[in-house]
Amino acid sequence: MSEPYPGSAEVKGHVLIVEDEAVVGIFLRIVLAEAGIHATVFHSAQPALEAARAVVFSAAIVDVGLPGMPGDELARQLRVLHPRLPIILATGYDMNAFAPMLRDQLVRVLEKPFDEPQLFEQLRALHQTTV
């Protein structure tokens, strides 16, 4: 059986998804499941942060425009909890605003809207950084 998306076979583990738009979160979970990757979706930062204290995730996909706590702040807090956690910041905002975070080799910014190949390219690149 071939991989559903190029590069998806290289990505393993349990992915944390934090996305306030339920439809987008479900879409991401389904796309990852089709590639054989388990994912847990949260719709706000605080429950995701609590889960990250209890579960070791292999990567995180975090929407920047979260209610309550912005996604980039959540990413900073996830980094404190798990220094080697690969993080994708998904945003429709100007990517230059996140330039300081991009100095971290384990952080990528994925501009919305994005498609499945773009998502897996970023996950694959982050996976290669951690092995």
Which phi and psi (to 5°) does residue 80 adopt? -65, -45
Rounded Cα distance between 45 and 16, Å, is 11
Q: Is the dihedral of CA 26, 70, 96, 62 positive or negative?
A: negative
Q: Where are the domains of the chain?
A: 12-111
Domain 12-111 CATH assignment equals 3.40.1190.20? no
pTM above 0.85, yes or no: yes
Segment 36-78, tens digit of pLDDT: 899 999 999 999 999 999 999 999 999 999 999 999 999 999 9
